Amino acid sequence: MDSAVDLKDMTMAEMVGFLAGMGLPPFRARQIFAWIYRRGLTGFDGMTDIAKPVRAELAKRARISSLSLISREQSRDGTIKFAFALEDGQVIESVLIPEEDRNTLCVSTQAGCAMGCGFCLTAGLGFKRNLSAAEIVNQVCAASAHMPEELVRPGFKRPGNIHNLVFMGMGEPLANFENLVRALRILMEPHGFDFSGRKITVSTCGLAPMIKKLGQEVPVNLAVSLHSVRNEVRDRLMPVNRRYPVEELLAACRAFPLPPRRAIMFEYIMLEGINDSADDAELMAGMLKGIRCKINLLPYNENPERDFRCPARERIVAFQDILRARGYAVFIRDSRGSDISAACGQLAGKTKTGGWQPVEKRSERG
Domains parsed from the chain with CATH numbers: 5-63 (1.10.150.530), 68-340 (3.20.20.70)
Cβ–Cβ < 8 Å for 69, 170: no
pLDDT at residue 158, rounded to an integer: 58
CA dihedral 198, 201, 207, 211 (to 10 degrees): 0
Kindly indicate the confidence band of residue 150, based on its pLDDT and cuts at 50, 70 and 90: confident
pLDDT at residue 342 is higher than 70: no
pLDDT at residue 12, rounded to an integer: 98
Give tens-digit pLDDT for 100-122.
888 999 999 999 999 999 888 88
Q: Does residue 191 or residue 159 have the better pLDDT?
A: 191
Residue type, 351: T
How far, in Å, CA of 162 to CA of 171, rounded? 21
Please count the other Cβ atoms lying within 10 Å of the Cβ belonging to residue 149: 5
Q: Which residues are catalytic?
A: 93, 344
Q: Does residue 305 or residue 301 have the better pLDDT?
A: 301
Kindly report the average pLDDT of the chain as a whole number: 90
Burial class for 216, CB neighbours closer than 10 Å (0-12, 13-18, 19+): exposed
Q: Out of 77-81, 85-89, 352-356, which region has the weakest mean confidence (pLDDT)?
A: 352-356
Q: For 255-270, what is the mean pLDDT?
A: 95
pLDDT at residue 119, rounded to an integer: 85
Quote the distance between the C-alpha of residue 187 and its chain's center: 13
**What share of the chain has pLDDT > 70, as a percent?**
89
pTM: 0.92
Cβ–Cβ < 8 Å for 103, 165: no
Cβ–Cβ < 8 Å for 340, 73: yes
Cβ–Cβ < 8 Å for 106, 168: yes
